[in-house]
Amino acid sequence: MKEDTTGSLKDLQDIDLQLENLRSRAAEFDPLLDEVEEPSLALEQEVGTLKNRLQEMKVEERRLEHSADDRRARSKKLEERLKSVRNLREEAAVRAEMDLLRQALEADEQEALTLLDQIRRMEDRLDEQQAALDQARADVEPRRLQLLEEQKNVLEKYGALKEKREEYAELVPDRERLDYERIRGGGRSVAVASLTPDGACGHCFGMIPLQVQNEVRKGASGIACEACGVLLSVGDDLG
Ligand SMILES: [Zn+2]
């Protein structure tokens, strides 16, 4: 670092590279977390499907109950009507309708019973799968929490360094910083490199013309390596 309080681009870049490193370390936890959660995700999906199916079956079962209630009510009315028939022909017609109703009612009841049986079995299966899901979650919970904790630590380090970075960036002269940000904004990690002691670019190691070397060594800013485009700064051993 330079002796005065002016910030150097090299130091700013060091911080930025550390920030990039921390960010990618934090991102490495995501696939690990996915992996840990995968077995329970499959079970979660199955439990969800079972719950939906069960819900549909219960709705259908209620529909059958209502239908059976309706038919019973209509049966009762027909029984009443039977008392006031005026002749055998009318009586036969009413009885025929009652027979049809009874058959339909029996079919409804049979269907409802079958459905209730299926519902019970599905509820058992749901209980089993739910228990398996709880178990799967419990099995990976310590590992999941550990990963989350480690990721949180990295992100906290990142946050703290990011704050320091903003403070430090204030110390770098605006013009230098803008050049630097422009080059990094183009997607490059390395935007500034020191001259090597023998006068090469510290990034691509291409030789820098002597006159340019001298300007850089005198502290001129904003001079880029013609070969690779990074800003040149005085080397740490010279600065
Ligand atoms: Zn270069």
pLDDT 10s digit of each residue in the chain, 239 long?
Answer: 444 567 889 999 999 999 999 999 999 999 999 999 998 999 999 999 999 999 999 999 999 999 999 999 999 999 999 999 999 999 999 999 999 999 999 999 999 999 999 999 999 999 999 999 999 999 999 999 999 999 999 999 999 999 999 999 999 999 899 999 999 988 888 999 999 999 999 999 999 999 999 999 998 888 999 999 999 998 664 43
207 CA distance to ligand 1 middle (Å): 8
35 CA distance to ligand 1 middle (Å): 42
- C-alpha 55/C-alpha 61 separation (Å) is 10
Residue spans of alpha helices (H) in the chain: 9-27, 29-82, 88-171, 174-185, 210-217
pLDDT for 4 = 55
- C-alpha 131/C-alpha 144 separation (Å) is 19
CB 36 within 8 A of CB 144: yes
51 CA distance to ligand 1 middle (Å): 63
pLDDT for 7 = 81
pLDDT for 236 = 61
pLDDT for 189 = 86
pLDDT for 33 = 96
Q: CATH number for the 10-170 domain, one of 2.30.110.10, 3.30.450.20, 1.10.287.1490, 3.20.20.370?
A: 1.10.287.1490
pLDDT for 3 = 47
- Identify residues whose C-beta is under 5 A from ligand 1, the ion: 201, 203-204, 225, 227-228
224 CA distance to ligand 1 middle (Å): 8
161 CA distance to ligand 1 middle (Å): 28
| The token pair that represents 224 in the structure block | 């880029």
| The token pair that represents 130 in the structure block | 């739910």
Q: What is the 3-state secondary structure (H, E, C) of 28-55?
A: CHHHHHHHHHHHHHHHHHHHHHHHHHHH
pLDDT for 221 = 84
pTM: 0.67
- C-alpha 134/C-alpha 129 separation (Å) is 9
Structural domain boundaries in the chain = 10-170, 177-233
pLDDT for 239 = 37
